[in-house]
Amino acid sequence: MNMKKILFNILICSGLVTLASCEKKVTTEDTSKVTHYVVFELNGDETMLVPVNTAFNDPGVSATENGVDVQDHVVVSILDLISGEEVSSIPTDVTGAYSIAYSAVNADGFGVSAARDVIVYNPDMANSIAGVYSTDMAATKYGKAGKTFADYAPGYGYTGTPSVTFTEIVPGFFSCSDLLGGWYCQIRGYGAKYNMTGVVMLNDDNTITLVSSYVAGWGDGLDYLKNSVYDPVTGTLSYDVSYAGQIYISPVLVKQ
Q: What is the pLDDT along the chain (256 residues), one digit of tens a residue?
A: 433 333 444 333 433 334 344 444 555 555 567 999 999 999 999 999 999 999 999 999 999 999 999 999 999 999 999 999 999 999 999 999 999 999 999 999 999 999 999 999 999 999 999 999 999 999 999 998 989 999 999 999 999 999 999 999 999 999 999 999 999 999 999 999 999 999 999 999 999 999 999 999 999 999 999 999 999 999 999 999 999 999 999 999 999 9
Length of the chain: 256
The CA distance from 145 to 251, in Å, is: 15
Output the pLDDT for position 31: 59
CB atoms within 10 A of CB 210: 25
Is domain 2-121 given the CATH code 2.60.40.10 in the classification?
A: yes
Q: Nearest CA to 104 among 149, 41, 150, 197?
A: 41
Output the pLDDT for position 33: 79
The CA distance from 124 to 118, in Å, is: 18
Domain map (residue ranges) of the chain:
2-121, 131-255
Output the pLDDT for position 55: 95
